[in-house]
Amino acid sequence: MPRRLLVAAVAVAAAAIGVAAGLHFHQRVEEPLAIGGYVLERARTLPAIELVDESAAPFRTGDFAGHWSLLYFGFTYCPDVCPLTLVELARAKELLTAEQRGERVEYYFVSVDPQRDTPARLREYVAYFDPAFRGLTGSAGALAELARATETVFEVPEDNDSDNYLVSHSSNVVVLDPSGAVYAVLTPPHGAARLAADLTKILEHRASRR
Amino acid sequence: MTRLARALLLSASFAAGSAAADPLTIADAWLRATPPGARTAAAYLTIANDGPEDRLLGGSTPAARTVEVHTYVADGGLERMVHLPELEVPAGTEVRFTPGGPHLMLVDLAGPLVSGTSVAMTLRFARAGELVLDVPVIDARATPSPAVHGH
């Protein structure tokens, strides 16, 4: 082969490899998952935080490991968006049991109002929506740390001598993967069908990443 | 027809005090049945105003200490629930109170709100005066909410 032609062939081959590599690289750039919310670029491991569950037993963030977890932050004095979301989560749970393919999902209502929401109060509250729902709360410091780690915002008024103060909180549903790390955040409005569809996509997404 | 739709059709009939020429019409009123131990509840309804501008000043019910107008105001990542001392009901418009949006908050319930019952509620307006409603209590677990609005 004439030398010049050989150079040209090598150049073409190199270009082809480059294009192939480029395409390969391009394919690795993930399209954002089409869900009502977002998947974290890298799942975020939670710091060790001690909470208390609906039976007044200690609950550590490590206890989120071993199954998928959906966390919704609120307070039981919340008349509107908390019951609304918990009803939709309970319906989504029914829709999902058929599609989970062996993946376990636990549902947690995290009260950011420990002053009024005792474990006993939480237990009767979450059970009203679904007998399998769990309730969590903790010290103000523990709740603030959990909120920070889960992209959640809440605010309890400082002047709450009366029993009728209002607590503000974001209405996201936080999705933890079976390693207990924050995997995705679902944003309102939360309809059951959409919650179930989004969670199914998230489960598939993680399976395809691994 | 669902139980909820039937309830909505039957709901919000003025029990008393409504003049024939009343410009305000209230429809689709319902109260969320409460979980055990609840101290608060939310009521939802639509106010249609065929007359001049009016203002909703609040309400009352034997079922709770007070009835407040609440809405959400975006504040950073937070949706802050705020108590509105009054709510404008502009002429020729409809004001809707829906789950996840503006709602009437019943504070300090006298007892649980049980699905299938109904609760008398008085709404107080600056111009139209007092309107008395009979609001059905609905278990949202059993029936899809009429509307889910993001906030």
The structure's pTM equals: 0.83
List, in sequence order, every beta strand (DSSP E) within A133-200. Answer: 134-137, 154-155, 168-169, 173-176, 182-186
The minimal CB distance from A188 to the residues B81, B140, B150 is found for B150
Position with higher pLDDT, B139 vs B148: B139
- Judge whether B79 is closer than 8 Å to chain A, CB to CB: yes
Contacts of A151 in chain B (CB under 8 A): 77
Using CA atoms in the order A92, A133, A151, A39, what is the torsion angle rounded to 10 degrees?
-40
The minimal CB distance from A77 to the residues B39, B80, B99 is found for B39
pLDDT tens track for B94-138: 999 999 999 999 999 999 999 999 999 999 999 999 999 999 999
Q: For residue A116, give every residue at least 6 positions away whose Cβ sits within 8 Å of its Cβ, in sequence order, or none.
A: A75, A76, A77, A163
Look up residue B89 and give its two tokens.
Answer: 């009901």
In single-letter form, the type of residue at position A140 comes to A
Contacts of B70 in chain A (CB under 8 A): 79-80
Q: Report the pLDDT averaged over residues B77-93.
A: 91
Categorize the per-residue pLDDT at B76 as very low, low, confident or very high, splitting at 50, 70 and 90. confident
For residue B50, CA distances in Å to B24, B89, B105 come to 6, 10, 25
Q: For residue B151, give every residue at least 6 positions away whose Cβ sits within 8 Å of its Cβ, in sequence order, or none.
A: A81, A171, A188, A189, B72, B74, B79, B100, B101
Check residue A32 and give its pLDDT: 82
**Inter-chain residue contact B145 with A166, CB threshold 8 Å:** no
**Inter-chain residue contact A87 with B140, CB threshold 8 Å:** yes
CA distance A191 to A170: 16
pLDDT, mean over chain B: 85
How many CB pairs below 8 A link A and B? 93
Check residue A13 and give its pLDDT: 57
Residues B127, B131, B133: CA angle, nearest 5 degrees: 155
The minimal CB distance from B80 to the residues A78, A151, A168 is found for A168
Q: Output the tens digit of pLDDT for each of chain A's 210 residues.
A: 455 555 555 555 555 555 554 444 444 456 789 999 999 999 999 999 999 999 999 999 999 999 999 999 999 999 999 999 999 999 999 999 866 667 899 999 999 999 999 999 999 999 999 999 999 999 999 999 999 999 998 989 887 777 778 888 889 999 999 999 999 999 999 999 999 999 999 999 999 887
Q: Above 90 in pLDDT, residue B8? A: no
CA distance B4 to B137: 10
The minimal CB distance from A189 to the residues B36, B77, B100 is found for B100
- Judge whether B142 is closer than 8 Å to chain A, CB to CB: no
Nearest-CA distance A10 → chain B (Å): 55
- Judge whether A84 is closer than 8 Å to chain B, CB to CB: yes
**Inter-chain residue contact A154 with B78, CB threshold 8 Å:** yes
**Inter-chain residue contact B148 with A190, CB threshold 8 Å:** yes
Check residue B17 and give its pLDDT: 43
CA distance B24 to B2: 27
Check residue A16 and give its pLDDT: 55
- Judge whether B40 is closer than 8 Å to chain A, CB to CB: yes
- Judge whether A81 is closer than 8 Å to chain B, CB to CB: yes
Please state, for a pLDDT cut of 70, what percent of chain B lies above it: 81
Contacts of A88 in chain B (CB under 8 A): 148
Check residue A17 and give its pLDDT: 53
Q: Report the pLDDT averaged over residues B4-24.
A: 49
Interface test with A, best of B67, B72, B78 (most A CBs within 10 A): B78
Produce one character per residue of B128-141: b if its CB has 16 or more CB atoms within 10 Å, e if not: beebbbbbbbbbbb
- Judge whether A77 is closer than 8 Å to chain B, CB to CB: yes
Q: Above 70 in pLDDT, residue B26? A: yes
Whose CA is closest to B148, among A200, A110, A193? Answer: A193
Instruction: Give the DSSP H or E segment for A143.
Output: helix A140-149
In single-letter form, the type of residue at position A69 comes to S
- Judge whether B108 is closer than 8 Å to chain A, CB to CB: yes
Check residue B74 and give its pLDDT: 83
Q: How many CB atoms lie within 10 A of CB A109?
A: 27
Q: What is the ipTM of this complex?
A: 0.80
Residue A189 preceded by cis peptide, ω within 30: yes
